[in-house]
Structure 1
Amino acid sequence: MADSDSRPNVLFVLTDQERYDASAPDGPPVETEAIDSLSSEGVRFQQAVTPISICSSARASLLTGQFPHGHGMLNNCHEPDAIREDLPDELPTFSEELVAAGYDLTYTGKWHAGRERTPADFGFSYLGGSDTHHDDIDEAFREYRRERGTPVGEVALEGTIYTGEDPRDGENGTFVAAKSPIDVEETRAYFLAERTIDAIESHADGDRDGPFFHRTDFYGPHHPYVVPEPYASMYDPDDIEPPDSYAETYDGKPRVHENYLAYRGVADFDWELWAEALAKYWGFLTMIDHQLERILGALDDHGLADETVVVHASDHGDFAGSHRQFNKGPLMYDDTYRIPLQIRWPGVTDGATCETPVHLHDLAATFLEIAEVPVPESFDSRSLVPLLENGGEPPADLEWRDSTFAQYHGDEFGLYSQRMVRTAAYKYVYNGPDMDELYDLEADPAELRNLIDHPEYETVRTNMRERLTEWMDETDDPNRVWVSGVLENAS
């Protein structure tokens, strides 16, 4: 191991349910100056995907470097039907490896990767901002709000939107969006930024030994999209145009897609209502971006920016009205599987765009290589350091797959097996209970037309099925024998 003083610090900022396109250069007009600065000074990954669009599963993959079928947390850990409530003790995690290598780990914000096993069980000093397992509010934030005179739960929200037959009645629906009358300084996003800045100051003052790894998990822009001014009215719903995917008809799609409109309670939502909600979603992201700007400013102010790798990513995306859907589910569209990922490493990166396909949990191996720590054999992830060191391109002597692999196992509604393989040009989705899906991402980026039975795509279909089988074999997917047999015999 190298002298700890020569190894960089790492600041990892994970948002919750942030869409890729919201901060993409060719995306909607959302103000994300801090995220954009990371792109201009680092590497922005254009083809990053989550291994699964479920919070607990994706976060467990981040810790373990494994696909969900490897670590076993297939759905959310807090629900009564959780397949696994906590990760097995014996699974190596990047955080525990970093602690063993002399890094000082701190964490604030959302956890949601186990019921009983908390960040402290994985080597982190937890600084608050949540309860220890899901997304409730801890006493520290409650006291913070009481001191400011706006106790949590005692403010009257405005313009509330709920799912269900009456979008203004929350008696039976899911809370979607609203305006909050509080000040920005009273939001949890601001509070988490304050906790992060405190950690940065503590390291700068020498209160902690060795290089640091700090993780900030923001609660957003996950629903409910509740924001104060100026963010609540920053984006005018009348100026927001429907995405191309809003023209979805569900013709030739698995039946669960259309069923999910009723399941999520948005079958009767029109675009006017979606635009109102989406305006709050965009405002939420801009509010978080402004908190990220404060955090990056603290690194500068304390002389730590040049020796700190900054990583921004999201656990998965959000439909937010695309395909007329809400939240996420058994629909493997880019809206929920493609994620933002930017990495700034002073002296190594200098503003590049990477088109190489990568996974969210590749960060587990990346963090370890940055820290000069061997990657455990159990990891399915691959370090992105060679891409960072080579302007976003794989070195000539390094083979790199041109596809990514993802999966879904069901959420609170029950088990539902899906597997996906994606290249820059095509996406193939295996649906165990229904028809499969094939999309031409170049000709149809909105993924409106399922080409699974199109005769002109026979060669593409065969090729993508072979890729999927290879991924399942190489990652010891327990469904590989059954699925491979089905695909070999499929027409």
Structure 2
Amino acid sequence: MRILYFDIDTLRADRLGCYGYLRATSPNIDRIAAEGVRLEHCLVSDAPCLPSRASMFTGRFGIHTGMIGHGGRCADPWPIGRQRAFNTMRERGGLVWQLRQAGLYPATVSPYAERHSAWWFCEGWREYHNSGKGGGESAEEIVPTALDWIRRNGKRDNWFLHINLWDPHTPYRAPEAFGNPFEDAPIEDWYTEDLRRAQWASFGPGTPQEPAGGYGAASRHPRQPSQIASMDDYRKWIDGYDCGVRYADDWFGRTLNTLADAGVLDDTVIVITGDHGENLGELGVIGDHSVADHVTSRVPMIVRWPGLPGGRVDAALHYQTDVGATLVELAGGEVPAWWDGRSFAPAFRNGRDEGRECVVISQGVWSCMRGVRWEDHLYLRVRHTGLKNLPERMLFNVRRDPHELNDLAESEPDLAARGQALLDAWLDEMLSGSDCGGDPMDIVMAEGGPYHTRDMLDAYCARLRATGRAQHAEFLEKHPTGLAT
């Protein structure tokens, strides 16, 4: 068995052709989706970067590993304590270790561990190739190492190769020579000038006056405007993101060609996914992944498994880490009892949809909030806005309103209460079965709030005053969590 796991950072599901996008961002990914299974509703349990991959590769939710942040206590695993074994992988091994126990030789090409000081991620790999720029790489600095690995090892049996790209992540860095294949292509029409103006007058990291990457400073990256001062700027931003997706897809295509040259493409399992999505105006956030909404938390998940039914869409609701458990079972391994990820291998083998009743998403990096997805609904409960203009509770119908423009929390109180009840029940269940002694979100709040914004209040309020938004500065100074209640 050979498994290729193609992990593209910040890959928003609905920006791929196979998920219905109107631009040709992903011809190579779409080709594999047509041969495999595409999960329509796959969400990470913890967003964004560090917590997301922590969940996927440990098999456990952040509330159980402790990893829900990018800094402070909750950027590292809970200490095991007196029960720590001589070799913790044997008792607490994650995805890589379990695949290795199933007989696969695991190798990765990724800067993830170095970027986040997430050294636990190194456990289990037989080969770890660090591309060395901490996530600032373009695909041409990562994939050639993987292609060389395939040329040398591809014909061997029983390997798992993880390739980690970063091109859709800000700053948008597709090489100038790549051009802009979308220069004349239309963009979606949901983001309007009226919405842009309203967000411009509002506040929060990620709004048009402060999109991801700086507070109005001149951008060093030509594909990324420093502000969204017009709809032309918004279009340029969308082009920058879409070029990153297409550039990653091109290098994915080269990887497929190299597998074909080695004679193993047709019998290689191929998994394509990301660690989180990217808000492109939803909830007032442009070019970041700073909330626990459907857009940030939903990821593409495409699995082509030779010999199993393909060419179909799985419409069930899944955690991304459920896919990890499924890979382990399909590879002949045993899914550990302590994992939160649940295998749906029998349903996958038989072409059935079988998922979760609801999925809970946590965000503790740029804000402190949790969301719950069930049926067509998303309910969000906010504890700290991360200096953004957000209410304490939000409710959306993500099927009818995928860009989260119509908050139903006030008009649909029964549905909002249902969402809160699901969150409360989930939290009780998670803490009752936890050996960690509490909710890591409480620790993040006690440390002063989300890592990326907890020391920004004074500087950001000064900026708000300098840009004619003094009323918002006064609000945040009075309510540092961003909530009036």
TM-score normalized by structure 2?
A: 0.75
List runs of 5+ in structure 1 lacking aligned partners: 1-7, 138-187, 395-399, 483-491
Preserved contact between residue 49 and residue 276 of structure 2 (Cα < 8 Å): yes
Is the CA contact (8 Å cut-off) linking 1:366 and 1:385 kept in structure 2? Answer: yes
Question: What do the CA deviations read for 1:107-129 (whole angstroms, capped 9, x no partner)?
Answer: 00231475262654332401332
Residue equivalent to 2:392: 435
Question: Structure 2 CA distance, aligned partners of 1:53 and 1:480?
Answer: 14
- Give the counterpart letter for 1:98 in structure 2: L
The C-alpha deviation readout for 1:69-99, integer Å capped at 9, x for no partner, is 21112212xx5x4633467574421112222
Report the counterpart of residue 94 of structure 2 in structure 1.
93
Query: Following the alignment from structure 2 to structure 1, what is the Cα–Cα distance between the partners of residues 139 and 441?
Result: 45
In structure 2, how many angstroms separate the alpha carbons of the residues matched to 1:116 and 1:51?
Answer: 18
Task: Confirm or deny: 8 A CA contact 2:107 2:160 kept in the other structure.
Answer: yes
Cα deviation, 1:43-68, whole Å, max 9, x if unaligned, reads 01111112222211101111111111
SS of residue matched to 1:278: helix
Letter of the 1:129 partner, please give it.
S
SS at match of 1:327: strand
Question: Equivalent residues in 2 for 1:202-351 (5 A)?
Answer: 202-206=152-156, 211-229=158-176, 231-236=178-183, 239-244=186-191, 248=195, 258=204, 260-261=206-207, 264=211, 265=215, 269-351=229-311
CA distance in 2 between counterparts of 1:465 and 1:321 reads 25
Whole-angstrom CA distance in 2 between matches of 1:130 and 1:194: 14
| Corresponding residue number in structure 1 for 2:429 | 474
- Output one character per residue of 1:410-458: Cα deviation in whole Å (capped at 9) or x when no partner: 33xxxx431111124111111125521111223322211211121xx23
Superposed CA deviations along residues 268-313 of structure 1, whole A, max 9, x for unmatched, are 5332112112112111211111111111122222222233210000
Partner residue, 2:62? 68
Q: What does 1:33-48 align with in structure 2 at a 5 Å threshold? A: 33-48=27-42
Q: What is the DSSP-based 3-state SS (H/G/I as helix, E as strand, rest coil) of the residue aligned with 2:271?
A: strand
Aligned partner of 1:353: which letter?
V
2:470 matched residue in structure 1: none
Q: Residue 407 of structure 1: CA displacement?
A: 0.7
SS of residue paired to 1:276: helix
Distance 1:353 1:364, change over 3 A: same
C-alpha distance 211-88 of structure 1, shift in aligned 2 (>3 A): farther
From 148, 156, 170, the counterpart of 1:198: 148
* Corresponding letter in the other structure for 1:84: A
Secondary structure, in 3 states, of the residue corresponding to 1:47? strand
Q: 1:127 to 1:331 in 2, by over 3 A?
A: closer
C-alpha separation in 2, matches of 1:9 and 1:385: 17
Q: 8 Å contact 1:472–1:480 — kept in the other structure? A: no
The structural deviation recorded for 1:323 is 4.7
1:369 to 329, 344, 357: 329
- Whole-angstrom CA distance in 2 between matches of 1:75 and 1:311: 26
In structure 1, how many angstroms separate the alpha carbons of the residues matched to 2:439 and 2:79?
Answer: 21
Paired letter, 1:236: E
Distance across 2 between alignment mates of 1:361 and 1:375? 11
8 Å CA contact 2:109, 2:162 repeated in 1: yes
Q: Which residue of 2 aligns with 1:126?
A: 128
Q: Matched residue of 1:295: which SS?
A: helix
For 1:257 and 1:49, the matched residues in 2 are separated by 28
Contact 1:39–1:343 under 8 Å retained in 2: yes
Opposite residue 418 of structure 1, the aligned amino acid is M
Inter-CA distance 43–85: structure 2 relative to 1 (3 Å threshold): same
Partner Cα distance (2:38, 2:284) in 1? 28
Q: Displacement, 1:392?
A: 4.5
Paired residue for 1:22? 15
Following the alignment from structure 1 to structure 2, what is the Cα–Cα distance between the partners of residues 100 and 465? 40
> Given the alignment of the two structures, is residue 108 of structure 1 paired with residue 106 of structure 2, yes or no?
no
Aligned equivalents of 2:132, 2:126: Cα separation in 1:
14
The one-letter amino acid of 2:353's match is: E
User: Quick one: structure 1 residues 222 and 392, their matched pair in 2 at CA, closer, same or farther if it must change by over 3 Å?
Assistant: farther
Contact 1:53 1:328 in 2 (8 A): no
Q: How does 1:404-443 map to 2 (within 5 A)?
A: 404-411=359-366, 416-433=367-384, 435-443=392-400
Deviation per CA, 1:353-373: give whole Å up to 9, x if none.
111011122232122112211
Confirm or deny: 8 A CA contact 1:243 1:322 kept in the other structure: no
- Residue of structure 1 aligned with 2:317, choices 353, 357, 366: 357
CA distance in 2 between counterparts of 1:190 and 1:392 reads 38
2:353 to 372, 393, 396: 393
In the alignment, the residues of structure 2 paired with residue 370 and residue 197 of structure 1 have an alpha-carbon distance, to the nearest angstrom, of 25
Q: Which stretch shifts more, 467-476 or 292-301? A: 467-476
Q: Is the 2:56–2:324 contact (alpha carbons within 8 Å) kept by the matching residues of 1?
A: yes
User: Greater shift after overlay, 89-98 or 238-247?
Assistant: 238-247
What is the letter of the counterpart of residue 11 of structure 1? Answer: L
**Structure 2 counterpart of 1:425, one-letter code:** D
Tell me how far apart the structure 1 counterparts of residues 353 and 229 of structure 2 sit (CA, whole Å): 43
How many residues align structurally?
A: 404
Output the amino acid matched with 1:14.
D
Q: Is 1:84 matched with 2:75?
A: yes
Equivalent residue for 2:480? none
Q: Check conservation: 1:312, 1:343, Cα contact below 8 A.
A: yes
| SS across alignment from 1:44 | strand
Structure-1 residue corresponding to 2:3? 10
Q: Which amino acid aligns with 2:103?
A: G
Residues 428/384 of structure 1: CA separation in 2 closer, same or farther (3 Å cut):
same
- Aligned 8 A contact 2:206 2:288 in 1: no
- Answering whether residue 409 of structure 2 is matched by residue 462 of structure 1, we say no
SS of 1:378's equivalent in the other structure is: coil
**Residues 248 and 437 from structure 1, CA distance in 2 versus in 1: closer, same or farther, beyond 3 angstroms?**
farther
C-alpha distance 336-231 of structure 1, shift in aligned 2 (>3 A): farther
